Amino acid sequence: MTEKKEIILKGIAAAPGIAIGKAYVFKKELPSVELRALDESEVAGELERLDHALAKSEKELNKILVFAEQKVGEAKAKIFEAQVMVLQDAYLLGAIRKRIREEKKNVEYVVSDEIQKYANLMHAASNEYMHERAHEIEDLKNRIVRNLQQQKLLSKLDGSPIVIAHTLTPADTMILSRNNILAYGTDVGGVTSHAALISRALKIPAVVGAGSLGLTVATGDMLILDGYSGNIIVHPTEERIIEYQRKREHFSAFEAQLAVLKDFPAITLDGKSVELSANIELTEEIDYVVLQGSQGVGLYRTETLLLGRDDVPSEEEQYREYKIIADRIYPQRVIMRTFDVGGDKLIPDMAEEKNPFLGWRGIRMMLDYPEFFKTQLRAMLRASGKNNVAVMFPMISNVQEVRKAMACFNEAKNELRARGVRFDENIQVGVMIEVPAAALMSGIIAQEVKFLSIGSNDLTQYMLAVDRGNHFVSDLYHELEPSVLHTIKFVIENGHRKNVWVGVCGEMASNPLAVPVLVGLGVDELSVVPSMLPEIKKIIRSLHYAECQRLAQTVLHFSTVSEVEECLRDYVHQHCPDIPLAGNNNVI
C-alpha cells in the first residue's frame, strides 16, 4: 500500500497548543426548509409548534449555559445567555407569529426567513467580527428549525479526535468538549470568534480559517494541529510526528516560563519601555486579558453592542457596559473606540454598499448622526470616573473630521456638566491612523489629539489597494511591505514631534516578526491579541532597543517584502529561539 503524501495546510492560530491524533470530520447537516401554505385551520397548530420548539431550544441552551459556567466561568458563558435572550425577544417573536397568522406560511419558513434578516445585516457589514456573529445567529435559527423538525445532533464521539469542521459555533465547541477532544480545526473563522474564545478558555488548541479542510481531510486521517503557527499537517511522516512531540514538550516548558513574566513590564534589555496592552471585543475577555499580564486595553471594539439589535442601545445601556470594562481593568487604562461600523447597523433598511471598506463607516457615519454619536460619547465619559478611560475615533481621513468629532465630544461634556454628572475632565482622546491620507497628514492631526493608534490591518489594505478578503488578491496583502513600514515610521516620527504617543493596534502588533522593527521605529504602545501577550512581552524583554533601531534602518533599505521577512525571521530566531514563527521549520 502506497504511503499517503504529507500535506501542510495553513490557517490562523486561534488557541495555542500542539495536538497529534486522528481526525473526526464534523458535518452538521443544515435543516431543509420549504415554503408551505397553511389552511386557516392549521394556524393554531403551527403557533403551538413554534412555542414547543422555542421552549426546547431554550432548554438546550440553558443546559449548555450551565455546563459552560462550570468549564469556562460565568463571564464567558454569557455568550449563551445572549442567545437565550434572542429566543425571548418580544419584537422578533411577535413578527414571526404575526406572519404565520397573516401570511399563513409554515413556521419553519417564517422562522428561517425572519432570523436570516438579522444574519444578512451582519454579513453585509465591513466588520469581520459581525460576520462571526452572523454565523451564531444562523446557528440559533437552525437550532429552532431542527427542533421543529424533531432532528437530533451528534454530541458523542469515539476516541480522542481532532475535530475538523467547516465552522464551529460556541454551542458546538462546548458540546464537543464533553468528549476528550484534542483540538479543533475549521475552514472559516477568526481569532475574534466566540468559538475561538471558548477554545482558549478550555485550553484546547485551535486553528481556524484553514480553507477547504473537508476536501483534504477525512475521518481517521492522522493529523498534527499546531495552534502556535496555524499549520495543520495531514498524513505526517513518523519523523514529523517525533519532531512535533518534542516541540510539544518544549513549548509546554516554554509556556511555564512565559507565565513567570506575567507581572513584569515590557521593557528592553537596555531600558526602552513599551506599553503592552490587548485588543478586546467582549467584556468576557477582560479576566483572560488580566491573567495574561496585559498593561491595559489598547482597543475596545464597542460596535459589538450593536450586535443582533434592531434598535440603538441607549446611553444607560452603553454606560453600564463601558463601566464594567473600566472597573475590571482598573487601575490599567482602556481605550474605547467609537463605533466603527457601516450605516447598515444604524439604519437597517439602508441599501448595501458596493464597497463598504471605502464607504460610509466609522467616523463618517457618526458625524452624519451627531445625536447618536454624542449618546455614545456621554456614556464613555460617564464611565471615566476612575480616570482610566481614553476615547479613540476610527476611520479618520482628514483634520476636519477630527475637529468635528472633537466638537461633538466637547458638546457631550457640556451636556453632562449641565446634568451635574462627573467625569474625567482630562480624558485623553486619540485617533486611528488607517487611511493613507491621515498618515500623510499625521503631523497636523497630532496637534489635535493626545495619541495616534496605527490600525495596521486597514492601513495595509488601503496602502496596497488589496482587499484581503478577496482570494484573487489576498496573497498581495503583506503588512511587512517596505511601503507600509516607511509609512509607520513617518507616522511615529510625526507623533513624537508633536509630543503625542503612538501605538499600533492591528494584527501587525501581534506578529513576532514585526515586533523588533516596531520597537526600533520607536513605537510607544502595542495592542495585541490577548493570547499573544506573553510571547510579545518575552520578545520585547529579549531585545536591545539600540540594536532594534539599527535593524529598522537596515530593513527600511530593502525593496521587497521577502527580504524584510527573511531578515526579521533570522533576527527573531537569533534573539528569541523559543518563539514559534509561522512558516519556519526550525521553530514552527
Please write the tens of the pLDDT for every residue from 28-38: 777 888 899 98
Provide the pLDDT for residue 401: 96
Around Cβ 404, how many Cβ atoms within 10 Å? Answer: 17
**Least-confidence region, from 51-55, 75-79, 289-293, 463-467:** 75-79
CB 15 within 8 A of CB 186: no
Provide the pLDDT for residue 347: 44
For the chain, percent of residues with pLDDT exceeding 90: 55
Side-chain-side CA neighbours of residue 77 (13 Å): 15
Q: For residue 355, count CB atoms less than 10 angstroms from its CB and return exposed for 0-12, middle for 13-18, buried for 19 or more.
A: exposed
Provide the pLDDT for residue 350: 43
Residue 206 has pLDDT above 90, yes or no: yes
Residue 41 has pLDDT above 60, yes or no: yes
Provide the pLDDT for residue 170: 82
Provide the pLDDT for residue 316: 96
Residue 533 has pLDDT above 80, yes or no: yes
Provide the pLDDT for residue 76: 67
Element (H, E) at 454: strand 451-454
Q: Which residues are catalytic?
A: 194, 505
Provide the pLDDT for residue 174: 83
At residue 466, what are phi and psi to the nearest 5 degrees?
A: -130, 125
Per-residue b or e along 35-68, where b marks 16 or more CB atoms closer than 10 Å to that residue's CB = eeebeeebbeebeebbeebbebbbebbeebbebb
Residue 388 has pLDDT above 80, yes or no: yes
Provide the pLDDT for residue 346: 46
Q: For residue 209, count CB atoms less than 10 angstroms from its CB and return exposed for 0-12, middle for 13-18, buried for 19 or more.
A: buried
Q: For residue 8, count CB atoms less than 10 angstroms from its CB and return exposed for 0-12, middle for 13-18, buried for 19 or more.
A: middle
Helix, strand counts (H, E) of the chain: 22, 16
Sheet holding 183-186, edge to edge: 7-10, 231-234, 222-226, 18-26, 162-165, 183-186, 206-208, 12-15
Q: What is the C-alpha to C-alpha distance for residues 29 and 146, in angstroms, rounded to an integer?
A: 10
Provide the pLDDT for residue 351: 43
DSSP 30: P
Give residue-wise pLDDT tens across range 308-333: 566 788 999 999 999 999 999 999 99
> Predicted confidence band at 134 (pLDDT cuts at 50, 70, 90)?
confident
CB 512 within 8 A of CB 579: yes
Q: What is the C-alpha to C-alpha distance for residues 22 and 156, in angstroms, rounded to an integer?
A: 16
Provide the pLDDT for residue 549: 98
Mean pLDDT value across residues 574-578: 87
Provide the pLDDT for residue 108: 93
Residues 6+ positions from 472 with CB-CB distance below 8 Å? none
Tell me, rounded to whole angstroms, the distance of Cα 17 from its chain centroid.
19
Residue 393, beta-bridge partner list: 431
Residue 358 has pLDDT above 60, yes or no: no
Residue 354 has pLDDT above 60, yes or no: no
Mean pLDDT value across residues 13-32: 87
Peptide bond into 331 cis (omega under 30): yes
Q: What is the C-alpha to C-alpha distance for residues 290 and 580, in angstroms, rounded to an integer?
A: 23
Q: Where are the domains of the chain?
A: 7-25+160-253, 40-148, 261-575
Closest CA to 231 of 473, 19, 546: 19
> Predicted confidence band at 197 (pLDDT cuts at 50, 70, 90)?
confident
Mean pLDDT value across residues 135-163: 82
> Predicted confidence band at 2 (pLDDT cuts at 50, 70, 90)?
low
Strands 275-280 and 231-234: unpaired
Dihedral sign from CA coordinates of 434, 435, 436, 437: negative
Most distant pair of Cα atoms in the chain: their distance? 82
Comparison of pLDDT for 548 and 175, the residue scoring more: 548
Residue 250 has pLDDT above 90, yes or no: no
Provide the pLDDT for residue 1: 45
Residue 341 has pLDDT above 80, yes or no: no
> Predicted confidence band at 342 (pLDDT cuts at 50, 70, 90)?
low
Around Cβ 420, how many Cβ atoms within 10 Å? Answer: 6
Highest mean pLDDT out of 175-184, 258-267, 374-383: 374-383
Residue 277 has pLDDT above 50, yes or no: yes
| Average pLDDT of the residues of the chain | 87
3-state class of 209 per DSSP? Answer: coil
CATH number listed for the domain at residues 40-148: 1.10.274.10
Name the grid cell of 340: 466603527
3-state class of 312 per DSSP? Answer: coil
Distances (CA, A) of 379 to 262, 330, 343, 481, 568: 32, 18, 21, 39, 43
Provide the pLDDT for residue 516: 98
Residue 352 has pLDDT above 60, yes or no: no
Q: What is the CA radius of gyration of the chain?
A: 25
Dihedral sign from CA coordinates of 382, 425, 340, 479: negative
Around Cβ 83, how many Cβ atoms within 10 Å? Answer: 25
Mean pLDDT value across residues 527-538: 89
Cα angle at 481 between 476 and 483, to 5 degrees? 115
Q: What is the C-alpha to C-alpha distance for residues 280 and 75, in angstroms, rounded to an integer?
A: 14
Mean pLDDT value across residues 174-179: 81
Provide the pLDDT for residue 259: 79
> Predicted confidence band at 468 (pLDDT cuts at 50, 70, 90)?
low
Closest CA to 525 of 451, 465, 587, 461: 451
Residue 357 has pLDDT above 90, yes or no: no
Mean pLDDT value across residues 423-434: 97
Fold of 261-575: TIM Barrel (3.20.20)
Mean pLDDT value across residues 447-469: 89
Provide the pLDDT for residue 321: 93
Architecture label for domain 7-25+160-253: 3-Layer(bba) Sandwich (3.50)
> Predicted confidence band at 521 (pLDDT cuts at 50, 70, 90)?
very high
> Predicted confidence band at 565 (pLDDT cuts at 50, 70, 90)?
very high
Residue 236 has pLDDT above 90, yes or no: yes
Provide the pLDDT for residue 75: 64
pTM of this structure? 0.70
Give residue-wise pLDDT tens across range 97-130: 999 999 999 999 999 999 998 888 777 765 666 7
Q: What is the C-alpha to C-alpha distance for residues 416 and 403, in angstroms, rounded to an integer?
A: 20
At residue 295, what are phi and psi to the nearest 5 degrees?
A: -90, 10
